[in-house]
């Protein structure tokens, strides 16, 4: 593995590490504070009401809570998930979601257990990669095997006198 590939792998591991540190947990109140990262679980009624804006089969909207205005949530949308399991990233566009379309609200919180488990797995993988890379570096000289003798394709010509 080249140095560039090692850097890419390390960057990918860091991205996954930061994602593994958080999880969405139910919020006790249906009015999350402004600025909090939330996931809104959409009801069947909400799937119908929001299908023009988010497409059919909407299951969840993730984003940052901007405010609560009357019977609506104002949220900057970062990701939407469909009931099929597919998801799509959004650019943080602000939108209003009627509270009657939301079944539950979950907030993004730090997860010590997930972080610990990931750290153990990532540490083991890193140890494995480094030990494989360094195992041949300090074990002494390795002579290349001698190449086999060349094979002749010459056909002998026999001359009779």
How does pLDDT run along the chain (161 residues), one tens digit per residue?
A: 566 776 676 666 655 555 557 777 778 776 788 888 999 999 999 999 999 999 889 999 999 999 998 899 999 999 999 999 999 999 999 999 999 999 999 887 766 676 677 777 777 777 777 776 665 555 555 667 787 777 777 777 777 76
CA distances from 76 to 48, 65, 66, 71, 102 (A): 21, 7, 7, 17, 16
Q: Please check whether residue 65 is in contact with residue 34, taking contact to mean a CB–CB distance below 8 angstroms.
A: yes
Q: Identify any residues that bridge with 75 across adjacent strands, giving them in sequence order.
A: 65, 95
> Please, what is the end-to-end C-alpha distance for the chain in angstroms?
64
Would you kindly state where each structural domain of the chain is located, as residue ranges?
23-109
CATH number, domain 23-109, options 2.60.40, 3.90.1070, 1.10.3470, 2.30.30: 2.30.30
């Amino acid at each position: 593995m080249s140095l560039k590939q090692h850097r890419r792998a390390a960057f990918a591991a860091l991205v996954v590490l930061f994602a593994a540190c958080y999880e969405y947990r139910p919020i006790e109140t249906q009015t999350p504070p402004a600025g909090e990262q939330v996931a809104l679980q959409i009801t069947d009624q909400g799937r119908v009401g929001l299908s023009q804006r988010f497409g059919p089969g909407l299951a969840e909207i993730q984003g940052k809570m901007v405010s609560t205005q009357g019977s609506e949530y104002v949220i900057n949308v970062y990701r939407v998930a469909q009931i099929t399991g597919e998801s799509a990233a959004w650019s943080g566009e602000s939108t209003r979601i009627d509270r009657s379309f939301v079944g539950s609200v979950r907030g993004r919180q730090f997860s010590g257990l997930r972080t610990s488990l990931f750290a153990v797995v990532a540490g083991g993988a890193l140890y494995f990669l480094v030990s494989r890379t360094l195992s041949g570096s300090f074990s002494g000289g390795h002579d290349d095997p001698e190449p086999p003798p060349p094979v002749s394709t010459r056909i002998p010509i026999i001359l009779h006198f």
